[in-house]
Amino acid sequence: MRPVLFPTTLAALFDIVEHQPDARLMAGGTDLLVRLRQGPADRRPLICLERMARLNGITTENNTVIIGAATPLSAIIADPLVQRHCPLLARAAATVGGPAIRNMATLGGNICTASPAGDTLPPLYLLDARLDLAAAHATRQVPIAAFITGPGRTDLRSGELLTAIRIPMAERFGLQHFEKVGRRNALAIAVASLAALIRLTPGGRVAEARLAWGSVGPCVVRCSEAEARLTGRRLTSETLRAAGAAARAAVTPIDDIRATTAYRRDLVANLPLRLGAAT
């Protein structure tokens, strides 16, 4: 049998980590349990985070929305603070799996799994999310882009835990867009996704554009070249096409069973065009 542990405080958790260094952390388990099924011989203990009150919940502090790492996505989607200050994140979170999965899957889990197809990641990049990391005797904070280092790889150190995600309340972006293209409308892994935050001048020109693509490289691709093509211009199909072309050159998608590299590049170039219809 595999030991399954349910600490309720950070102290208790770090005590377990110290004594059972091979134990693994489990938040919602929606990813980990699938992988464990594929390796039934693995009997390493699991440390479940679901009873850690400190990791669950959404608060604000100093113009920052703070989301506990083990907060389920369904709670994030429904949360008024998130809806008000970072609706883009709620929109992306709503595309993860299906309702049952969103009730279990957590934001911290989506980050630590570090899948190139993680649906919440492009918005977190655009929102300049910072991560609170805690170890037994130290804490640190890193920007998400520095934390995720590759497919399934993060800067999480041994004995360290992601406790919270901090999202600064940025100036309001009039245009917030998230689109995921998968092989079906729910329970789908992203073939490609686009997150966009765009602020327009009263004259209808782009004051600031933030664009990030998911599932088209080892990590989320935030393309400053594409953003630059939009800045100062109107969101016409020509400028959006130019931004798409820049992004097409910047991404490095893989060929896999879901889609080819060529198709993913087409999506990267095409998806920004939708921003023109949204204004």
Contact residues toward another protein (CB under 8 A) are: 40-41, 98, 181, 183-189, 191, 257-260, 263, 266-267, 270-271, 273-274, 277
3-state secondary structure of 228: helix
DSSP-assigned letter for residue 161: E
- Residue 271 to residue 162: CA distance in whole angstroms: 32
Task: Output Rg (C-alpha) for the chain, integer angstroms.
Answer: 19
3-state secondary structure of 236: coil
Q: Supply angle C-alpha 8, 141, 115, rounded to 5.
A: 80
Find, among 71, 42, 52, 43, the residue nearest to 6 by Cα: 52
- Please say whether the beta carbons of 123 and 153 come within 8 A: no
Find, among 79, 100, 176, 166, the residue nearest to 128 by Cα: 166
- List of E strands, 31-143: 46-48, 58-61, 64-68, 130-134, 139-143
Query: Minimal distance in Å, beta carbon 107 to another protein?
Result: 22
What length is written for the chain? 279
Nearer to another protein, 19 or 184 (CB): 184
